[in-house]
C-alpha cells in the first residue's frame, strides 16, 4: 500500500457552503428563540397544598369510618343469648318475668304439643333412660 500524505494530495471541495457571518449571527438567533419559551415556575406552596389535602382526606376517613360503624351497628341478640343472660342473673325470678310480660306475650310462649297417648307410652317403654325426659 502506498503511503498517504494529506498535504500532497489534491483536496476535495465540499458541496456545502456556510453563509457569510453565520457563526456571528448564530448566538443571537438562539438566544432570541430561547427567550420565547420561558420556564414554568412551580411554587413550593402548591406541593404543600396537595399534601395538606391528602392529610385532610385521610383524617376525614379515619374519623368517619368508626362513626359510621357506631351508628349503623345492629344490636340483635339471639334467643340463646337472652336465655343465658336470664338464667345467669340470680336476681331475676320467674315471678319477675311473669310480671314483666303481658298476657299476649304469655300466650305466645305456650306451646301446644299434640302427642298421642300411644306414641308417648311406646317411647317411655322403649327408652331405658327416663331421666333424660324428666330433667329436660
Distance from C-alpha of 93 to C-alpha of 98, rounded to nearest angstrom: 9
Which pLDDT belongs to residue 109? 78
pTM of the model as a whole? 0.27
The pLDDT tens digits for 106-121 are 788 777 777 888 888 8
Which pLDDT belongs to residue 119? 85
Distance from C-alpha of 131 to C-alpha of 136, rounded to nearest angstrom: 8
Which pLDDT belongs to residue 60? 94
What's the start-to-end Cα distance of the chain, in Å? 121
Distance from C-alpha of 133 to C-alpha of 25, rounded to nearest angstrom: 116
Other Cβ atoms closer than 10 A to 54: 10
Which pLDDT belongs to residue 92? 72
Average pLDDT across the chain, whole number: 79
Which pLDDT belongs to residue 59? 95
Which pLDDT belongs to residue 55? 93
Helix, strand, coil percentages (3-state) for the chain, rounded to 5, are 60, 0, 40
Amino acid at each position: 500500500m502506498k503511503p498517504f500524505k494529506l498535504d500532497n494530495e489534491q483536496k476535495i471541495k465540499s458541496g456545502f457552503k456556510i453563509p457569510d457571518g453565520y457563526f456571528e449571527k448564530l448566538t443571537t438567533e438562539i438566544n432570541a428563540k430561547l427567550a420565547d419559551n420561558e420556564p414554568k415556575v412551580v411554587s413550593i406552596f402548591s406541593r404543600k397544598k396537595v399534601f395538606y389535602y391528602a392529610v385532610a382526606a385521610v383524617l376525614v376517613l379515619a374519623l368517619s369510618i368508626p362513626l359510621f360503624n357506631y351508628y349503623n351497628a345492629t344490636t340483635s341478640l339471639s334467643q340463646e343469648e337472652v336465655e343465658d343472660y336470664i338464667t345467669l342473673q340470680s336476681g331475676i325470678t320467674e315471678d319477675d318475668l311473669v310480671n314483666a310480660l303481658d298476657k299476649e306475650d304469655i300466650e305466645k310462649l305456650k306451646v301446644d304439643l299434640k302427642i298421642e297417648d300411644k306414641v308417648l307410652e311406646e317411647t317411655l317403654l322403649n327408652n331405658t333412660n327416663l331421666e333424660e325426659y324428666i330433667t329436660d
